[in-house]
Structures are given as C-alpha cells and as structure tokens.
Structure 1
Amino acid sequence: MASSYEPKDPEKEAHLSSDFPPYDVEPAHHAPNGLIAGIPAAELEGLTVYEKKCVLINREIDNNGMGRYQWYIWCLCGFGYFLDLLWAQAFGLVLSPLEQELGFRRWAFNLTCLISAAFGLGLGACNSYPAFLVVTAFVGFGIGGNIPIDTTICLEFIPQNRRFLLALLSLFQPVGVAICSAIAYGFIPKYSCSPNFSEAKPLPSCANVAAGVACCTRASNMGWRYLMFTLGAITLGIFILRFVVFNFKESPKFLVYRGFDDKAVEVLQHIAKTNNRPCGVTKEDFEALTTEQDSTVSRTELLGAGKAQLQTTMREKFFIEGARYKLLFKGWQMSRLTLLVWLTYICDVWGFTLAGTYLPTILALKNGAISLTLKFTYRTYIAIYTPGIFGVLLGGLMYALPNVGRKWTMVFSSGMMGISIFVACMPYPPHPFGHDRPSDYHLLMLCRFNAVLYGWTPEVFPAPIRGTACGLASFWGRLFGIIAPLMAQSLIPTAGLHGDTQATNSILYLAGGLTLGCVSNIAITGKIWGLIRDTAFGHLVRFVSRGKYLQFAEERDPSIWTRYIDEKKSGYMAHHGDAEPPKGEDGESEDVGMEGIGGVRTREARTPSDQSSRTRVGEGEGDVNLASGVRIDTEKGRDVHIVSWYGDDDPENPMNWSLLKKVFVTFEICLLTTSVYIGSSIYSAGTESVAATFGVSTVAATLGLSLFVAGYGLGPMLWSPMSEIPYVGRNPVYLGTLVVFVAFQVPTALASNFGMLLAFRFLTGFFGSPVLATGGASMADLYTPRKRAYAMSIWGISAVCGPTLGPLVGGFAVQYGPLKGDISAPWTWPIWELMWLSAFCLLFLFFFLPETSANNILVRRTLRLRKLTGDQKLTCEPMLMADGMSSHELVMMCLVRPITLNFHEPMVFLLNLYIALIYGLLYIWLESYVSPTPPITILLPFVIVFIGIYHFSLATEGLAYLGLFAGALAVIPPFFVYLRYGLEPHFDADGNVTPEERLLPACVGGFCIPIALFWFGWSAREDVHWIVPIIGTSFFTIGTFILFNSVLNYLPDAYPAHVASVLAGNDLMRSSFGAGFPLFASAMYTKLGVGWASSLLGFLGLLFVPIPFVLYKYGGTLRKNHSKYARKDI
C-alpha cells in the first residue's frame, strides 16, 4: 500500500476526503450483492482499513449536506481565524508605545482560545518589558494553533461540494484586523506619550532616566494596555462560546484513526440529529469494513482497525504514531509536496510579518513626514485591510474554477502581492492617501492568497496526517516569522531618529522578495513536473538518471503500453501500406473497418498470451499483423505496429494540454519573440556612436540594423523547415540557435572593426530567427483552428513589443551609458542589454519550455516503447514520413520549398508582398539616429518630428514609440469580439472554416495604414501638440495587427501541410523589405520633408488595399483550381 498516501494533483480534491462520489444511504445489513457497507466493492479495492472507513464517513457527511452543525463548526472555526490576526496586528499596533514605556484535537481546538485569553488579559498588567515578552510568548503559543487546527476540523465536517467555505474562513482575518485597529484607534492615540510615534526625540522610558526628568509614565501611556485588556476579553468570550455554549464533538476520522469506531458512529449520529436528518451509518458498517490483520501487516494498515488497534501494546502504539509522521515523506511525490508547502508557509508568514506587523509603524513614519496625525494613520490602516474582505470572497470564487483552481489562484495572488509591496516603496506625492493605495492592493492579494492556501493545505494531505501536516507547516512559518522583527527593528529606529522614511523601504523590499518566493513554491507543485519533464532540462535529467526520474506513464506502469497502439492504422498498413483508409473509385477514403480489409480476429478475442499463435493464421493464409489481426499483403502491406494517441483526450497531445499550460507556453514563445525582435531596433539608438567609433558614414552604420533584419529573414528558410522534421522538433531549434544568439552578442559588443560588427550583427539575426517564423507554427501546435487566432494575436503583440520598445530601451542606455573616449553615448550598451535579456530568456526556456511538436512527441513515445518492449516493429506516422524521405527531398523541403511556395503560389506572393510593405514602413520609423551636435544631418521621421520639431532628448524620443504599442493593445478587445461572434460561428462541426473568412478583418485593417501615414505626416508641426502625431502612429499598429493576424492565420489554414515553409517565405520577404527600406528612407525624408514623404508611402499603401478584397472573393477559386500546394477540401 505504498501508493495509498501518494498525493494527487492539488487542483483536485484530497486523497481521502473528496475522491469518492456520494452514495445513497443504505445500511450495510440491507446492502445487495457487490456492496460493502453500502459502497460498491470496486471503490474499496486496494484501500487500507482506515481509508475504507474514511470513504464511509465521507459518504455520510455528503449525505447530511451543509446543515446546522456544519454552519456552527464553520463559524466557530472562523473565530479562530479572527483571533489569529486580531492578536498579530495588536502587537504591531502597540510596538511603539510599548518600546517607549518599557525599553486531543478537541482540546487543542479549545485550549488555544483559553491560553490566548488568559495571557492576553495579563499582557495589559505587565510593568516590565521582560514580563511582557514572557506573556506574549504564551499568547502566541495559544494563537498559533488556531489556523491549522480550525482548518483541519472544518475540512472534516463539511461536505465535498462546500469546500469553497474553507477559503471563506479567511473572511474573519481582515475583520479581526479591522476590529483591532478600530479599538486601537480609540485608545492608543489618546492615551499615549507620543502623539505620532515619529518625533525626532520622543519621551524616554522612566526606567532609564533620573528623577525629575520628563519621561513616559505608565499613567500617560495606558492606551496599549486598554487595547490588550479589550482583546483579552474578546478572546475569552470566544472561548466560552466555543467550549461552553456549543457542544463540540471530535472529528469522526480522527476517532477512527485512533481506533474508537463506536465513538465515531456516535458523532455521526449527533450530527444527523442536529441537522434533523437520518444517520445512514451504523457500527455494523464499520465492522463490515474491518479485515483480519496478521503479523505481517504494516503498521500504517493498523490505522482504523478498530478493536484490533485498541488491543495493541503501548510500544506498538508508539511505532504506529511514528509511522504516521513518516507518511509526510513517503515517496518522492509526498516528500516534494511536504517540503514545498513548508517553504510556502515560510515565505508567506515571514513576508507578512515584515510588511503587515510593521505596517502601522511604517505608515506612521511616512505620514509623519507629511504632517499627518497618528489618528489618520490608524484610520488608514483600517481602510487598508477592508479590501481584504473582498480578496477572500474572490479567493473563494476562484477556489472552484476548473480552469484556474487553487494553485494558480495562489500563484497569481502571491505574485501580485509581492509586486504591490515593491510598488509601496516608490516615492509618492505628499498626499494624505498617497502611501496606502499599494497597501490596499497588497492586502487584497494577501487575503486572497491565504484564503486559498489555508483551505488547500489540508486537502492535499491524507486524512491521518492532515492535522500534523498543517500544524508543521504553520510551525515553520511562525518560526521564521520570529526572525522578521529582529531584521525590521534594526531599521525602524534609524528611520525614526533621522527622519529617513525611505529607510523603512528596506523592510518592504525584503518582504516583497519573500512573498514572491511563494510564486515558485506553489507553481512547481502538481502538474509542473509533467511540464518540466518535456523541457530541455527534463530531458537532461532523464538522460543523466537513465530514466529514473521524471518518468512517463508507460515507464511507471509498463502494462499500459498497448493502449498507444492504433489498431486501425496498423491494419491499414498491413493491408495496403498506408496508415490512412484505402481510397475508393472516386478517390475518397473509405473507412471500411478491420473485417472489410482482411481482419481475421476481433480485438477482444486477442490476448497477450495468444501472440505467438497469431504470427500465422493457418497454412497458406499468410502472415498476420499482431496489432490488428489483419493479413499482411505481401506486395503492398507492411508489418508494423502504429503508435499514436490513445484517444482524443491523450494528455501528451499538445492540443489536449490544459488551458493554463497552453497560456504558459504561449507566454514563453512571446518572451522569446520579444527578446529576439528587440535586437533589431535596440541597435538604432547607437547608430551615430557606431559611425563615430569606426569612422564610417551614418548610412553605412545603418547596415548594422539592415543586416540583422536580413539575417533573421534568411534564417527561417533553414530553421523553420528543420523544426518540421519529426526527429528534431521545435525545442532543439529554438534553444540551440538561442545559445549561439546569446554567445554572439559578446563579439558584437567587443568588435574591433566595422566589418566584424556587421558580420556578427548578421549572424546574430540569422541564429535568432527561428521563432520569428516558427512561433506561429508553435501556436498551431497548441490551439485548434477555432481558437488559434486568439493566440496568434497575443504572439503578434509580442512581435510589436520588441521593435517598439527597442528604441526606448536603447535610447536611455546610449544617453546615460558610461563615457567611452570621445563618444558621449557608447553603442555597446544596447548590445549588452540585448545579451542580458536573451540570456535570461534562454535560462527560462531551458527549464520551462516543453516540446510542442506533436510529431516529435510521438517519435519520442515510439522510441521509449521500443526500448521498453524490445519490439522494433513499433513505429508512428511521423517516423514513416521521415524514414521515407531521401536526402534530396529533405534539402528540397528545407531550402527550396519556402521559395517555391512564395513565388509560385499567387495568394502567398500577394499577401507576403503586402506584409513586406508594412514591415518596411515599420522599420523606416524604427531606424532613428541623430548626430550628437547640431545640425542634425541624417534624419528619419521620428527623429525629425520628436527631436527636431518637439525637442525631445534621445532617451525620451524612444517614449514616442509607445504610441505604436498602444495601438496594438487598443485593437485587441474589438478584434477578440469579432473572433468570438463574427468568425467562430462560421466553423463547421469538424472545427474547420473556409480560409478566406480569415481575410475579412484585413479589408478594414488595410485602410488604417494610409490613415496613419497621412495623419503623422501632416500633423507633425510646431503649432500642433506632440500627442497628435503619436496618436496617428497608433493607427499604423492597429492596421498592422489586423493584417498580420489575418494573413498569418490564413496561410496555415490554406496550406496546413506546409505551415513552417509558408511562414518562412513570409518572413524572408518581409525581412528583405525591412532591411532595405531604412537605407533609402533617410534621403527621401530629407528631400521631401515629413509631410510629402509620408504621403508618398501612404499612397503606396493605398495601392495594396484591394488585395484582401480580391482574395476574399476569389481566393477559394484560386486554391482549388490554380494551386499545387493549397488545401482544396473546404
């Protein structure tokens, strides 16, 4: 039973509390055959005695529903959450006045309140700081057990369909903080020695001064004591409510775990009675589930054995208890989960203790700096925690969303929580509400994160160790929370004495970093290892460990390999040598089935033991394909076993990946695209520095951009078709070329002569090019044609993001980079920035980018099955396709086909020419450089307008390019609306759409290009505000976005068998225009001026507007009647 306690996917319900569906209540003695205690025997197979009884308890709890007893439990457990932050924030609120004056589960459930109440009341009576610390320790001892115990108890009493209530328990936490702050607001400012806690020289403690010197006396500093007295009274009232008023019963699962079956039944009967419902569980049900135990049974299997467990000796009970703790580290899966949960709690509590407990002091210091009173600070503190209530509600809502779930809710919340802490460190204007807005957002995210975390933790652990796991996680969090005050307190006095409010930001920086640690800890739980297994790092781990780690399903359970064999395709190969059905007289495929093509046995009649007898059916009847039972045609057929997806829901198929995994991989492709695309325009800001460094003309220096663009235009001609080879796939091409791209940035930046610079600029463009064309093919790997346009749109934004951000990033680097000889703005700094960005991207993709090529995934599956079974007849369709290609055909596919498709297919040529024009226009704007001394001799439109007319600096001139980026962002919502309501209804039942339907938006987008050019050219005047031409440029990216997405979705639909080659040809043509246009644009804009030069390009754009209209109307006819490679079936 080693696997009984392996954790399941955290996105699903816990192992013993939610994997089983509810059953109708039926006493065991009335159960029909095939049922045990009213539960189907199949559901109990392979479970221990304790697990079987937990199934029975779950059934009864679910049948009871969310009755009065469950609501009592939920409210009382919520009070435990209430006390947790009530006291935690109290210590933060009284920190300054205090320093100034004084230099069984049931019993655990109730004793936490009693201990907290007793010692909480005593806090107010302390007359010395050591006494206060001792009493505080006891308060923490009592409060610390609330959340792990309350969550565990609540989980075990509420039904499965109400698990979201676990997250909503956290509603009580911000309420506790708000109440504590409200009480402090009434007491501390009024009854304290220091009015604001931010004075340069506060009154000292009377214990440290001579008689007659003004000091902080007890009588004048009673505010914090009143707060403690009040909180102690509240806690005592909650203890009385939980222990005296409500008749709380022990958890049935815990009683069963201890062997008290009779008491567990009594508790279930009490719950049913409280809820006015019948109880469907009897003692006989538990006895029916109890099995005989022999001397060889493991200790963990004695759990829940009822009388057999009670009869064990004390020594045996001790070892049984020890075995329970060992379950936390039983196997790799459980050990990893335990450690990651501990790390998450450490980062969460540590970060919150820094940012939360010291928030009152930080606010007081910052507000004191702008002359705000302590009362205002406390009112702000109450307002800050109010959004936490909405954060909990949002967490409860997302708790059950299937496409988000608990894990990714926590990942997003913790990430935004850490970011908001960093934002709180930023300088704000001296406004009363300036400092608390980031804190509002931080608390919103914090409450949402903790709401899900506290409910998620007990669910992912088995019931026997659920309370232990939660308690230990809380212990580690609280332990590291102790370190937080030691760090923070060393900074607070410095800030207060010297008026340096920014010194408090050190606390927030540390808190933000720790909080962001929760992102990685949560993200790598659950299915993330399946993602890492398919990455370059995962392949390396599998190679080094010889397949011991990160195994696939068939490696963990070799018996399942047969489900990957496609019977039909194997039969077709045996019958006529092709994996597709035979074609009839009309040329259409006829799926005739196995019997219709010579099948001799049904799949059901064949068994593994029968394999030797199936080699030949009978004398003279010929060989038989073992996978399908079809006779092998000796002339046409092939005796192979086709490996394929085991069904439409095979999780290894990229089309079947979860939405979150697809989104994550899409983000990685976008990151790679931006990291490479930015390399073109980031160079442009340093063009004048290049000219001055190497003594060449500025036109010659422009070749650094043109050759880079030419390089990534030629590169896809090789790399994109190579990524289509089944034995290669996408990742080796992406990562192998990216390694060279990163490495070549070093000799580029250190170039000793101009020729060396140009050579390496071309090579970096060449090796950085695969994603620029193959990125679209990766989107096609992941998404069906119905949804692919959404992903292509996001990928298109990343393509716009790189070139438009390049001048901005490069401009600041050039203008503010260190001096280098006589050059005031060295061109090397943008190159180093490009290397840093692409190196980070390389590391990120190495660890987290999985292979997306379905063909390559099938090839690797086939190779694994060959190794596993020793059967060399195993193959797959991609392998058959690759093995059937000669070297000549391979060269033709990689080097010739992209060019052939580009110039022999009229639809491809016209659309690629249109896209190339737009690309050339884009790079006219992106190639912007300026002489460091007037007059400016080499001009391009943005330089002429924003430096020459509006007098922007070189760095701020890059900000003007954000208008291009803004246009791309603005067009996304309406474009997505069109996709959802305009395009998707045209898809047929098979998920196909006429390719020409993709071109309808392009008919509109084409007009945006000339509009942008005319607007920009004639609005760029000194008497017109600079924002007007920037708005005009946004229309350019609106049109570009629509045209690119229309064309790049049309081409894969029209040429599905040649996607990479078609996109490579598109990239070649547009890159050629992008490389050439900047070379003549300078002279054109200098001679004609901005207005007429832009108008000339605008008229050129108008000439191309009819192309989408023509192809929308006649494209179908061209595909079907005049194309050799296009799709003809729709």
Structure 2
Amino acid sequence: MEIPTAKEESLLSREKQPGAPSLPVNRCINEAEIESNITTSDITPQAPNVVCFDSTNDPEDPQNWPNYYKYTLVGLLSAMQTMVNLGTLMCTPAVPLILESFGSKQNNFYSVLLVAIWELGEACGPLFVAPMSEYVGRMPVYHTANVMFTIWNIASGLSQNVGMLIVFRFLTGLSVASVTLDATVVGDMFPVEERGTVQSFLGLAPLIGPVFGPAIGGAISVSIGWRWMFWILAICSGVVELGFIVFFRETYKVAILWRKTKRLRKETGNERLQPAIARPSGWGAFLQKGLIRPARMICLSPVLVLLAIYVSVIFSYLYILLTTITPVFESNYRFSTRAASLVYIGIGLGMVCGMMCCRYTLDRIVKYHNGKSGAKPEHRLVPMIIGGVAVPIGLLVYGWTVQIHFHWMLPVFGLAICGFSVASTIISSFSYLVDAFGIYAASAIAAIITLRCLAGVVLPLAGPALFAKLGLGWGTTLLALVALAFIPIPILMMRVGDRIRQSSKLNVIF
C-alpha cells in the first residue's frame, strides 16, 4: 500500500466524483487529481460499487463535524496525554522514599530506571497501537489502552518491591495510545491549513505534564505517601476515560467507510460494495502487512530515518536533564526535594514558549506558501530549525552556570531554553508526519516514537556517569556539540525532503 499524501487524503474528503452512481457513494478521488502515491487497487473511483462520503457536507466525515465538538475531543485527547506525561516523571523525586519503603539502598540508577523503563514500554506500544488503529479504527484502541493504563497504575501503587514496580511501570508505558494517535486524530478532523494551530494547543498540556509531574509527585509522596501518586493518577485517567466513552467517536476515514460499506450492504443487499480505501482482508493479512508497517517505514523511508534520528537526540537530552535536575539542585544549591521539584517549571515555561512559536508559525507558513507555489509538508519544519539552534545554547547556559555556582535562576533559564527546543521540535515533527504520510501517519509517528523512546531509555542512563566524569559544564558542552552537529538535518529536509519523498526510486510501498 503506497502512502496517500495529505493532499490526496483531503481530496478523499472534499472532491466529488463526476458521474457518480445512484447509490450514495459519490465522494471518491478522481485519478486525474492524484499526483502520486495512491494505487488503483486501493481507490477505484470509476467502479460503480465504491463507497465514499456522500457529499462535501457529509456529517459522517470528521472534517464536517462542528468545531465545538472537534475541540471537545481535542480537550479529551489533551487531558489523557497530560495523565500519561504526569505519570512518566511523577515518581522521580519520590524515588528515595520508594526505595526506603522497600528497604533498598539509595541508588541513582533507580532514579533513571524507573523513568527509562516506562520509555521502554512506550517504545514497544506504538508498534502495536498504530497498526491496530489503522485496521480497526482509533476508538477501540483508545478505549482499550486507557483502561489498561488505569489498571497498571493501580497495580503500581500496590507493588511490594522494586522489581514489581519496575514491571508495572513498563506495562503502564506499554499501554499508552495517546502519544501515538493524538496527532493523527487532529489530521482526521482538521484540514491542512488548520492543523498546526490545533497541534500546538494539543501539545501544550502534555508538554506541561513532565514539568508539573515531579512537583505534584514530590508533594503527594511527602504528604500522603508515594503509593497515592499512582492511585490518584489512576482515578484521574479513569475519569478521562469516562469522557472518552461518552463523547469520542471514530475519526479514522478508512474505518468509517468500512462501517458505512457494511451498513449499505445490509440495506441494499449488494455484497459487491467496497470502500474507497482497501485494508488488509482478515487478521492474517493484517499481521503480515499492517503490523510490520512501522518497522518497514523506518527502515525504508529516508526522510523518516533522518527525522527519527534528530527527534531522538533532542528527546534523549530532555530526559538526561529531567533525571538529573533533582540531584544537581540538591547538591549544588542545597534545595529540598520539594524545592528541587519546582525547578522543572523552568522547562515548562520554555515549552509554553515553544508551543506559542509553533502556534504562530505553522499555519501561517502553510497559508503563505499556498498563496504562492503551494505548501509542502516540509514547511512544517521551520520551528524545528529554530529549536535546533536554541538547544546548544540552553545546554551551555545550564551546565556552566551550575558549574560556576551562579544564581539558581540562571540554570533554570538554560533549562527553559531547552524546553523551548523540545516543544518546537516535537510539535513541528508530528505536524510534518501527519501531512506527509496521510492515512498512515499513525505508523509513521509510531516509528518515530519507538526510536525516540529507545533513545530516552539508553542515553539518560549514561547521564549521571557523564556528568560525574566531566562535570556538568563540560558534560553539557559535549552534548551541545553533538546537538550542533545535528542542526543540518532539518535544514536538509526543508531543502530536499520533498524531492526524496516524491522520487520514484525512493517511493516506498507499505
């Protein structure tokens, strides 16, 4: 299956087919309007038994849903992803209390492992979540993952030793669906020229989650015990899932058309009706083709490989900083555990600035180029380039101001610059993937997230040893030099990414 681009996906939702049959199936793609990437085996607009959306105003098309309802769903998605991101780092400042309650010795390794093991689970989960969402639809995957996320948080609070807690943390990360699917749901519901703004708003709460997670976790663990961190998170995620049950509807066009096809077959008795976009017929075909799609994409798509490398580096830097902030500020500035957890707010403020940068640039850039030669998905990468220039600066400010023992506000400012870089990189990368990979954006995002999370597992484990060996100043200088070397990647993608994607030699069939 070749990848429909965002333009082709938009045509599926917006264009009428000339000479449509009498059945209400006339919203198909005209082959003359398709420039690349989609095959006649998937969409056959001239066939009389092809099921599409009825008209440009078909209420079954998610892009025709009322704006108030769309933004209600965006709020639900944002709330669930906030729960996920709170859970990622909530236990970080409470690790000493957790180890003490289990009778274990204090060990900085556990501080990193309890975060890294979550990322390992989150690296494995998208490889199943994304293909399943492209086969059965977004809705059943969300419901299943949200329920399992709640259950594993309850189990984490009931852990009797460190080993149990590590296992349950892995399973909790494995049950995360929102990180993979949220951006694709935005692509399902909003046209290209509106997605950047919505992606920015959707990205705000999840980016704040890692900031307030340690502060909330530190306060809860000190006041009512560390187990209540997980139980309160389970209660909150359970409430959000109730919101999903009440409000969430299927947004994936392929799943919607398949269900419409089944309904029309029953109503008309015509068993030859087929949806406009085919999917694997049966679970066997799905296992052979759909389940391995993210792995094939990351192996065979050059632009995806480049983007995955860059995003993984930036994301791993975030976790190196997040897992070392507490010991750095406790040892260098004599902060208490609760006070050190408030330092994370500096990263959060930087992330808000990064979100605002994406909010005011992504859609404006697309509209500007649409008015000239036409927008490309690569135009979404401008904020990423800005963030790439900012991250070495932030690392140097953070490392050397701590090393020289300047006032604590200066390293917090450096952390804010790093937060800006992370937000601008993640939001713009997801916006790019949704536009570039169309209905298979979930698999593309899954491929990125898998490598990103693996980097988030491995590289932060080296953080304490790196800073112990070189000191914080020279350690962050080394990281800054590496980040500087990766800045050409988004610039290269801006210049030649479109040609690489459209090249017949590199046009990968999935």
TM-score band, normalised by shorter chain: 0.7 to 0.9
Does residue 916 of structure 1 match 2:312?
A: yes
Report the CA distance between 1:841 and its aligned residue.
1.4
Q: Which residue of the partner structure matches residue 168 of structure 2? A: 760
- The residue that corresponds to 1:719 in the other structure is 129
CA distance in 2, matches of 1:899, 1:1023: 46
Question: Residue 99 of structure 2 corresponds to which residue in structure 1?
Answer: 691
Kindly provide the amino acid, as one letter, of the partner of residue 979 in structure 1: L
Is the contact made by 2:313 and 2:455 (CA closer than 8 Å) also made in structure 1?
A: yes
Summarize deviations over 1:25-55 as a string: whole Å, max 9, x none: xxxxxxxxxxxxxxxxxxxxxxxxxxxxxxx
Q: The residue matched to 2:291 in structure 1 has which SS?
A: helix
Mapped to 1, the partners of 2:262 and 2:509 lie a distance apart of: 33
Q: 2:224 aligns with which of 817, 821, 831?
A: 817
Question: Which residue is 2:481 aligned to?
Answer: 1099
Please state how far the C-alpha of 1:709 moved relative to its aligned partner: 0.9
Structure showing greater relative contact order (alpha-carbon pairs closer than 8 Å, 6 or more residues apart): 2
Deviation at 1:888, TM superposition (A): 4.8
Within a 5 Å distance, the mapping from 1:519-538 to structure 2 comes to none
Q: CA deviation at 1:1068?
A: 0.0
Give, in whole Å, the separation in 2 of the partners of 1:708 and 1:757: 11
**Distance across 1 between alignment mates of 2:459 and 2:348:** 21
The CA deviation at 1:569 is 5.8
**Alignment match, 1:647:** 55
Distance 1:663 1:1074 in 2: 31
TM-score by length of 1: 0.40
The structural deviation recorded for 1:840 is 1.7
After TM superposition, list the pairs within 5 Å mapping 1:1055-1070 onto structure 2.
1055-1070=437-452
Residue from 241, 247, 251 that aligns with 1:852: 251
In the TM superposition, what whole-angstrom CA distance separates every residue of 1:622-641 from its partner, at most 9, and x where no partner exists?
xxxxxx9x9xxxxxx7xx64
Which of 1085, 1088, 1095 is 2:467 aligned to?
Answer: 1085
Please state how far the C-alpha of 1:734 moved relative to its aligned partner. 0.6
CA distance in 1, matches of 2:410, 2:75: 33
Distance 1:816 1:580, change over 3 A: closer
CA distance in 2, matches of 1:908, 1:945: 35
Deviation at 1:1125, TM superposition (A): 2.9
Aligned 1:268-307 pairs, distance under 5 A? none
Name the counterpart of 1:281. none
Residue 799 of structure 1 pairs with residue 182 of structure 2? no
Assess if the C-alpha contact under 8 Å between 1:786 and 1:992 holds in 2.
Answer: no
* 1:730 and 2:138 correspond: yes
Aligned to 1:302: none
CA distance in 1, matches of 2:346, 2:49: 57
Provide closer, same or farther for how the CA distance between residues 893 and 806 of structure 1 changes in structure 2, counting only shifts above 3 A.
farther
Cα distance change, pair 1125–945 in 1 and its aligned pair in 2 (3 A): same
Distance 2:95 2:54 in 1: 56
Aligned-pair CA distance for 1:1008 = 0.8
Percent identity, please: 28
| Cα pair distance change 1:992/1:687, threshold 3 Å | farther
What residue number does 1:956 align with?
Answer: 339
Change (3 A) 1:968 1:857: same
Instruction: Give the whole-Å Cα distance in 2 for the aligned partners of 1:761 and 1:712.
Output: 10
Unaligned runs of 5+ in 2: 1-15, 39-43
- Cα 1:583–1:1011, aligned 2, differ >3 Å: closer, same or farther? closer
Deviation at 1:977, TM superposition (A): 3.1
Return 846-855 or 802-811, whichever deviates more: 846-855
Distance 1:1083-1:858 versus aligned 2 partners, 3 A rule: same
Amino acid at match of 1:906: P
> 1:843 aligns to what?
242
- SS of aligned partner of 1:1125: coil
Matched residue SS, 1:1084: helix
Q: Which amino acid in structure 2 is aligned with residue 808 of structure 1?
A: A
Tell me what 2:65 maps to: 657
CA distance in 2, matches of 1:857, 1:582: 22
Equivalent residue letter for 1:815: V
Does residue 1:704 correspond to 2:114, yes or no? yes
Could you tell me whether the CA contact under 8 Å between 2:332 and 2:405 is conserved in 1? no
Which residue of structure 1 aligns with residue 182 of structure 2?
A: 775
1:1114 aligns with 2:496: yes
Pick one of 395, 408, 431 that aligns with 1:1013.
395
Contact 1:669 1:771 in 2 (8 A): yes
State the partner residue of 2:382: 1000
Cα pair distance change 1:974/1:760, threshold 3 Å: closer
**SS of equivalent residue, structure 2 residue 213:** helix
Write 1 or 2 for the structure with the bigger share of helix: 2
Instruction: Specify the alignment match of 1:978 in structure 2.
Output: 361
Quote the residue 2:75 is aligned against.
667
| Partner amino acid, structure 2, of 1:847 | V
C-alpha spacing 1:751/1:969, structure 2 compared with 1 (3 Å): same
| AA partner of residue 82 (structure 2) | T
1:796 and 1:992 map into 2 onto residues whose CA distance is 26
> RMSD value over aligned CA atoms?
3.1
Contact 2:196 / 2:363 at 8 angstroms: preserved in 1?
no
Residue 907 of structure 1, aligned match among 299, 303, 317: 303
CA distance in 2, matches of 1:1066, 1:783: 22
Query: Which residue matches 1:52?
Result: none
Q: 1:581 to 1:1008 in 2, by over 3 A?
A: closer
**Could you tell me whether the CA contact under 8 Å between 2:326 and 2:341 is conserved in 1?**
no
CA contact (8 A) 2:203 2:355 kept: no
SS in 1 for 2:160: coil
Distance change >3 Å, CA 918–CA 686, structure 1 → 2: same
Question: 1:776·1:792 contact (CA, 8 Å) conserved in 2?
Answer: yes
Shift, 1:944, TM fit: 3.8
Distance between the aligned counterparts of 1:580 and 1:651, measured in 2?
18
Whether the 8 Å contact between 2:300 and 2:508 is mirrored in structure 1 is no
Aligned to 2:292, what secondary structure does the other structure show? helix
Q: 1:988 to 1:718 in 2, by over 3 A?
A: farther
Report how far residue 1065 of structure 1 moved: 0.3
Distance in structure 1 (CA, Å) of the matches to 2:315 and 2:152 = 25
Q: CA deviation at 1:1023?
A: 5.4
Q: Distance in 2 between matches of 1:1126 and 1:993?
A: 24
Give the CA deviation at 1:1085: 1.8
Q: Name the CA shift for 1:897/1:694 in 2 (closer, same or farther; >3 Å).
A: farther
Mark the CA change 1:1093 to 1:835 in structure 2 (over 3 Å): closer, same or farther: same
Q: State the shift of 1:980 in Å.
A: 4.8
For 1:833 and 1:1104, locate their aligned partners in 2 and report how far apart those are by CA, in whole Å. 40
- Equivalent residue number for residue 877 of structure 1: 276
Q: Which sections of structure 1, spanning at least 5 residues, go unmatched?
A: 1-564, 590-596, 598-627, 631-636, 819-826, 928-939
Say whether the 8 Å CA contact 2:196–2:431 is kept in structure 1: yes
C-alpha displacement at 1:723, in angstroms? 0.4
Cα gap change, 1:645 to 1:694, in 2 (>3 Å): farther
Larger Rg: 1
CA change 1:949–1:753 in 2 (3 A) is closer
Q: How does 1:143-542 map to 2 (within 5 A)?
A: none
Q: Is the CA contact (8 Å cut-off) linking 1:694 and 1:754 kept in structure 2?
A: no
Query: CA offset at residue 741 of structure 1?
Result: 1.3
Which one-letter code corresponds to 1:1003 in the other structure?
Answer: I
**1:764 partner amino acid:** T
Distance of aligned partners of 1:698 and 1:690 in 2 relative to their CA distance in 1, 3 Å threshold: farther
Query: CA 1:1015–1:865 in 2, change beyond 3 Å: closer, same or farther?
Result: same
1-structure distance, mates of 2:434, 2:207:
21
Query: CA–CA distance in 2 between the matches of 1:979 and 1:906?
Result: 23
1:984 maps to a residue whose letter is K
Which moved further from structure 2: 698-707 or 1061-1070?
698-707
